[in-house]
Each structure stands twice: as structure tokens, then as C-alpha cells.
Amino acid sequence: MLSTAGGSPVVSAPLIELGAPVLGEAEKRALAEVIDDGWLTMGERVRRFEQAFAALHWIDDAVAVNSATAALQVSLAAFDVGPGDEVLLPSMSFVATASVVVHAGATPVFVDIESPDRPHMSVEDARARITPRTRAIMVMHYGGYLMDMPRWRALADEFGLLLFEDAAHAVGLSGAVGTLSDAASFSFFTNKNMTTAEGGMIIISDEARRARARLLRSHGMTASTLARDRGRAVGYDVVECGHNFRMDELRAAIGIVQIERLPVWNDRRRTLTEEYRALVSSTTPDVVVPFERAHRTTAHIMPVLLPESADRAAVMARMRASRVQTSVHYAPIHRFEYYQRTSGPWSLPNTELFSRRQLTLPLHPRLTSSDVERVVETLRDALAQRQA
């Protein structure tokens, strides 16, 4: 970009985006093939995408839906979670983790995180919040960092509870997600490690519950539009009060292309994360990178903790002025007006401390090592200005 300063042309620095989907000719061809075929709604490509996703995660099968929120909602419904039930879940998550519980008629019970440098839901705090009404636990793999699933499975089994995974950040953790829980839900939103623009996937180990999820995503109908069109079914019955949560062929076509490259992209994200860790440690030692270096992850986002004395809004503004995008993941759900009004006060000190200090730096496969250096240098300079 060119601007003028004192009559001289000045080239501004290129924008470093917080996240950027990787899309190209392969996705264009896949979409064109769907249009040429003439079948747009849920069909054979959706089924192929489900099978490819299941194979990647070393499980038997998967159910595609039109968003991760729909995936969470269908998961709860498939196991009859509803009025009178309580569901333990993190406040340090996107709001959908809680809203689907409310829509099911159940009550969200917010659980604190372990510590500011390990923002995973605390097993000890969860145990303390279990009541006779507790029906389920919903864990969330923050930033793509794998939860201690054996420990959570043991807690759920001890109290006879269901265990759900909000795995929106964790697509591609093969053999780890969806293997110990009753259901795991994934996201393909545009900022995720792979994208279909909108879209989600459900892993349910129990075959009968998985079949029920398929019914619930499509109005509870016993035969799909494709099956009737192709003469494989005549008419249909409605055996559940379901939803229209179907994925379409256009999104599935993109997903089929994207999933082939996901392992390479996740590897690139992990490499960039390691570069960030080294540079942050040497350049801004008062900034903390959560989780241990060896923690298994998809490296979905690059969270850091600013010094407690830092003015985060000012740091973000300075970095934006230097054309580096940042964000916050997340504002805690229990502090939103709706949940304060409907759920009452909550004491989650670690969650609130983390949320005040957390800053998300750019991370996506398009970044270069030079970009990472520039981000960290910009962060250093933005923090230094608070001393001026």
C-alpha cells in the first residue's frame, strides 16, 4: 500500500492477519464439480467427507452437520440431556459451549480453569460442583491443546455422568479426540484449522446414538431427499422431532479437499508455535506462553499472557497501528450479561485472571518465520511504550 508523507512515497507494512483460511484452485474445482453435477443438498459428497474425517481420527464413522454449534446441540439431544439436568462446562470458551446447554433446557454450571498458564477446565473444581442433578461434563480443548481425557473419563465414570468434547479447536488430533468421550463436536468455521466456511462434525462411539444423531440433523426423517430422488426410498416417516442441521454438498466438497492437507497445515502451525515460544522467551520474557512445550496440540491459536501491569487494549491498538492483527480468546461466558442475569454470580478466579491478561497473536499456515519475528518485535515495542 502506498501513502505520502512529506511528499515522499511510503510503503506501509503488509498486514499480518490473525488467521487466514488456505483456499485455492483445488477448492474452486471441487465447487465447480458440485455445480456441474447439479445436486447441492446433503448427498454423496457429504458421506465421503464423513468417512474421510472418521478415517483421519481413527474411528468408525462421523456425522456431518452445518456448524459446530449444531454438532454440540445434536450431541446433547442424542443422549437426552434436557430439563432438570446440569452440565459442567468451562467459562473460558466460546459462548456456544454454554448456549447449546441452555437450548437443551438444561443448566450450565461453570467450572474454573486449572491455572492461568494452563487454561483447561479444572478436574478438582468440576468435582466440587457435581450435584445430584449433574448429568454431563463438557470439556473444551482450548487452543487445540489436548485435555487429559483419561482423567475426565474416570471422573465421569465415578459419578455415572456423560462426557462430551467441544473439539472445535482440535480437528486432526488422531486417536485422541472422540475416543474416550460419549460424543465429540468439531468446527469448520472460516478461522479453524480447516474450513468449509460453516460446518461441523460429530463423533459418537455408540452406533445407536450415532444413528439417532443422523435422524436429528434432518428433521427426524427416515429417508433423505437424495434417497428418494434416486429411487432408494419411497416416502418417509418422521420418528424424532429433529432440526435442519444438514451439511450441503458444496461445503462437503471443500472439506474433502481441505482434510487431505490438514496434517501438513497442523504441522506448520506447530512449527510456527515453537518459533513463537523461542522468540517470546528471548524477546519479551515477561510474556507467558500457556501450556508446556511438549503438550500435544493442533496449534489452533497462539495465546500469550501479558504482564499484569500491561494495558491490553493499548497494546492491541499499537499492534493494529503496526498492521498486526490480534484478538482475545475469550471473554469468559459467565461474565456476559445474559449469563449473569440467568445463572447468578460465579467465583472463577483463575478464569478471570487469564481472561484479563490473554492476548491472541497471529497463527495460520500462510505465516512465514519473518512474520513471526515481526509479530514478536511489534509486541515487544507495544509493551515498551507503556513505560514511556
Percent of the chain whose predicted confidence (pLDDT) is above 70: 94
| Average of per-residue pLDDT values in the chain | 94
Q: C-alpha 119: how far from its chain's center? A: 14
DSSP letter assigned to residue 12 = P
Q: Strands 107-111 and 86-90: what pairing?
A: parallel
pTM for this one? 0.93
Q: What is the average pLDDT across 40-45? A: 93
Which of 196, 192, 186, 195 is closest to 364 using CA atoms? 192
Residue 303: which of 278, 271, 277 has the closest Cα? 277
C-alpha cell at 255: 472439506
User: What is the tens place of the pLDDT at every residue in 185-209?
Assistant: 999 999 999 999 999 999 999 999 9
Instruction: Give pLDDT tens digits for 302-320.
Output: 999 999 999 999 999 999 9
Q: Residue 87: enclosing H or E segment and its boundaries?
A: strand 86-90
Under 8 Å between Cβ of 106 and 135? yes
Task: Go through the chain and tell me how many residues it has.
Answer: 388
When pLDDT is averaged across residues 248-271 and rounded to a whole number, the result is 98
**Crossing angle between the packed helical segments 44-56 and 249-283, to the nearest 10 degrees:** 30
Apex 352 CA angle, 348 and 358, nearest 5: 145
Residues 6+ apart with CB under 8 A from 195: 21, 23, 188, 189, 254, 258
- Structural domains in the chain, sorted by start: 25-258 (3.40.640.10), 263-387 (3.90.1150.10)
From 60, 23, 56, 62, select the one nearest 247 (Cα to Cα).
Answer: 62
Per-residue model confidence (pLDDT) at position 1: 43
Q: Give me the percent of the chain exceeding a pLDDT of 90.
A: 89
Tell how strand 8-11 and strand 134-140 pair up: unpaired
pLDDT over 60 at 388, yes or no: no
Element (H, E) at 216: helix 207-216
